[in-house]
Amino acid sequence: MYPDLKLYIDGRWRKTARDLPVVNPATEEEIGRLPHADLQDLEDAVDAAKKGFEIWGRTAPRERSNIIMRAATIMRERQEAIARSITAEHGKPLRQARLEVIRGAEFFEWDAGEAMRTYGRVIPAPQGHSFTVHHQPIGVVAAFSPWNFPMSQPARKIAGALASGCSIILKAAEETPAGAIHIVRAFEDAGLPPGVLNLVFGTPSEISDFLIPQDAVRLVAFTGSTNVGRHLTTLASEHMTPVLMELGGHAPVIVCEDADVEKAAINGAERKMRNAGQVCTSPTRFFVHDGIYESYVEKFVERAAATKVGNGMDDGVEMGPLANDRRIPALSELVEDACTKGAELRTGGTRLGNKGYFFQCTVLANVPESARIMQEEPFGPVAIINSVGSLDEAIEKANSVPYGLAGYAFTNRADYIDRLIDRVEVGNLSINTLPLVA
């Protein structure tokens, strides 16, 4: 079931002298050995991507689109095998892994459509002239994808690059390599020319230190933590290479006094626990009007505590383990710090059992502003629920972190919705729903 793990360079699969184990986070068992790239592998990947770009950048958009669509269809056909690999390496419930495969395929299908719509513009210029704007592929992309969505995160990077005519060297996450390997296999079977899509694994800093300064690399794309994103941006700026960064989040959820308390609480708890909270848009800071606060917390805690936690392969499991062991101390420290500073631990708070990286669904209430977790993203199944006296206070608190990725609000008042849209500083604002995205 779990694929043979290899690098993919210039249209060929390759093993290397050094490999490291990939571990199932639910059982802590080794499920594969992942080859790590050395300097020669990386040099070969750059040469291959340069060659791949020469071919792909000149391939007609319709042909590019056809190959991407074929690959997406193959991914859909292999949904079950890919989903099982994802659950084995990441831990998420199989049902969520299946959805992730479809979502990954949808990214390719969307971008395959966009590939044919890279319209230019004509701009009036002085003296009867006009300027024409043509969009052209930027060149070789060096991309780094994280472990929280083993298939859909690499899909986002690869789909955009390939649809616009770029070649790509992807370093996918070493903890969860199978999702990216399945994508590459699908493209191989769909007829993608060699060199266009290259996949490497290894020591992340060695790979980024090598790839980013390369003349051939014209764009750096990264999804992961803000600290690593900052480091890669600094490195790229030394070479004047543009970057695309998708970093952390610390999403607020505002629950107004007129909201349907039960619906908002249950939806909030279920969405918080999805992917064990390891989502950049995960709802984390809940600001609930004080008139409904206690009943909201009670219903939220009831639903969170009832979450069935276990091996994602087992039927009925709603939340799997954390994807890697370093997240256990990271979460424990944040919870402990909050409790020491006066937060109330309403449920959870610790590791579950001693086999597998399971963490309890955790709810902290009345968390003081001084707690680290009010500013630091937990990236795990931990919810903070605080009370507020008004919508203005909620918006002020929602905006009080350096993150602005996603936000959520529950209200039926049109004037409140207008105010929320105007003033909550986030890229995505969802009203009356916490969408259960894969």
| Pick 36 or 64: Cβ nearer ligand NAD | 36
Q: In the complex with ligand NAD, which residue's Cβ is closer, 188 or 246? A: 246
User: Any catalytic annotation for residue 280?
Assistant: yes
Q: Which of 280, 318, 361, 377 is catalytic?
A: 280
- Interface with ligand NAD, residue 404, by CB under 6 A: no
Cβ contact 84:94 at 8 Å: yes
146 touches ligand NAD by CB under 6 A: yes
The Cα–Cα gap between 199 and 353 comes to 36
Q: Quick one: which of 377, 383, 391, 434 contacts ligand NAD (CB under 6 A)?
A: 377
Strand partners, 143: 170, 221
Q: Which C-beta is closer to ligand NAD: that of 114 or that of 246?
A: 246
Residue 302 CB partners (closer than 8 Å, separation 6+): none
Min CB(379)–ligand NAD separation in Å: 4
Q: Which two tokens stand for residue 277?
A: 């909270």
Give the x/- contact pattern for ligand NAD in 310-349, rule: CB under 6 A: ----------------x-----------------------
Integer-rounded Cα Rg, in Å, for the chain is: 23
In this structure, the chain runs to a length of 438
380, two tokens: 């795990």
**Residue from 119, 121, 133, 132 nearest 61 by CA:** 119
Are 282 and 259 a contacting pair, CB within 8 Å?
Answer: no
Q: Minimal distance in Å, beta carbon 218 to ligand NAD? A: 18
In angstroms, the CA 210 to CA 197 distance is: 18
Tokens 């309403």 locate to 346
Helix (H) or strand (E) holding 366: none
Site residues (CB under 6 A) for ligand NAD, limited to 272-291: 280
Query: Is 302 a residue that touches ligand NAD (CB under 6 A)?
Result: no
Task: In angstroms, give the least distance from the CB of 155 to ligand NAD.
Answer: 13
194 binds ligand NAD (CB under 6 A): no
Tell me the C-alpha distance between 21 and 338, whole Å: 35
Q: Is 166 a catalytic residue?
A: no
d(CA 409, CA 424): 10
228 binds ligand NAD (CB under 6 A): yes
176 lines the binding site for ligand NAD (CB under 6 A): no
The reply to whether 246 sits near ligand NAD by the rule CB under 6 A is: yes
When the beta carbons of 198 and 411 are compared against ligand NAD, the nearer one is: 198
Kindly state the smallest distance separating residue 60's Cβ from ligand NAD, in Å.
33
Binding-site member from 3, 61, 194, 204 for ligand NAD (CB under 6 A): 204
The residues near 320 (Cβ < 8 Å, ≥ 6 apart) are: 25, 26, 87, 90, 91, 92, 93, 276, 309, 310, 311, 312, 358
CB of 121 to ligand NAD, least distance (A): 32
CB of 376 to ligand NAD, least distance (A): 8
One residue of 208, 214, 311, 347 binding ligand NAD per CB under 6 A = 208
* Buried-state track 212-234, b at ≥16 Cβ within 10 A, e below 16: bebeebbbbbbbbeeebbeebbe
Q: Are 221 and 210 in contact (CB under 8 A)?
A: no
How many residues bind ligand NAD (CB under 6 A)? The answer is 22
Of the two residues 228 and 297, which places its CB atom closer to ligand NAD in the complex? Answer: 228
Q: Tell me the two tokens of residue 404.
A: 């602005």
Catalytic residue among 246, 270, 336, 393: 246
Q: Phi/psi at 283 (nearest 5 deg)?
A: -70, 130
* Member of 148, 214, 241, 347 binding ligand NAD (CB under 6 A): 148
Note the residues at the interface with ligand NAD (CB under 6 A): 144, 146-148, 173, 204-205, 208, 223-225, 227-228, 231-232, 246-248, 280, 326, 377, 379
Active-site residue list: 246, 280
